Structure 1
């Protein structure tokens, strides 16, 4: 079977599911999407139409067409002939279990079910499934039709072969795949984000800095480097000829002291109002929708630039 002959079912068409549908269509696949929500089909088609110029700029695969989208409210019809199933149901175990029951009532027993879960353990998602060995984590990064990252991992009952097949499939569509070797809450990228959010919220709450200046500190500081090289390679670059060994030996004592001074994530929701007010103040002079449009333009330019450089991982 040729890669572009794959029929993909997208189960759940919220923001993540719609992004997946757009990505798979842009890769030339036939996509059958399903969602029980009222008006889901029109919202999905409008979302894909609005996003299509973006994926066109990223580059369409041969045969890519929005006409290859089929929509049905019946999960069984959506997955019956699927070669790969991307599940993007709401982040609740009871909902995901019910969806998997519906999928397994109609899908082939060997068809991989990749869950977009942003934090649930696949071991919990696959509990009670008829064929848990084919349920795999396939967590994208939003916006999923633009961002290359996909986190892949298995649960206690997932077969290693299906994890490998899932990684190979996503890679064939242009995604940057990372392997999660051990289940942890929130997976990898979200945990790294939470570590930053934790300290960002703490600094604002302690009166050290404003919301706007925290955003500037990242977007005009380390965020620019992180977009090109990850935290370890950036540390390695900071160490000169001694590399990461030198910088960790040189700064290790100070970093341990800083780490002991880091704030904790708030235990109650009292902080939300002040943070939200800070964000509103930061956005006062901007059109947020236009800001996101321009962000996507810059993401595409950056991704294209990274692709053109052979020594940037």
Structure 2
């Protein structure tokens, strides 16, 4: 009997990488899990520690620590690397110089090693780093995916749920779109409560007051920073998102999620990665969904896209200058 072995790799075994690994093991998402970190002894120690936990979980996942090139055998590589400096504000863009340098180092090495699978990227700033992975990897755009505004959209749904009587967030369809950062926005025209538009729901809810949409959007936009400034990092939310992306790819779930993906004309934009709704399945991005945004939402989307493009161009220019100097 032939058996397909599901192989997932994680590069960067810090707080986010460990949270993703834990979720993969406890949900039995992969048959083999490969851990790689610039600190190889830390990766080995985490692999040993995770191996100790297997017997008391439903998982039979085998865990290995490998050098970076050892990840090339994986179906999916989850990217959780970060640079060492600490964020001093809510803007993820301040991390770009350090994380771009990491991308320029690891992606060509994995390409040379023959990686042909799918990248799922959580490293910030997610949209710019996802685009760099696409340009450097040689992979089709469908196989390079950033987690983008997936977690932000969960936060939006939870905020809405709290204010409309505790309806299960899983019964709410709501999306943050654009940059995974300060320029993201809530697509209020697309919000549905069990299939009913938010406007209709509010009109029929005599016991509830209308949402203050600006406050709800702002809370969703900056909730990650509220966590970061209290504990110094975010890990479990984004770690579980990474694991969920891997699960939905391996299971060909074809679920709809926002993600940072490369656009080629969709939403009137080209040559950047940005958060939009996609169908996620075995081939990565199976389809990009096109929402009919209001004029205000389209303006917000275009402004976010232009911000991302500016940072992409600056990153490419800076790298070219550094290459010339060497």
The verdict on a shared fold, with TM-score over 0.5 as the criterion, is: no
In proportion to residue count, which structure has more strand?
Answer: 2
Q: State TM-score, norm by structure 1.
A: 0.44
Higher Cα Rg, which structure: 1
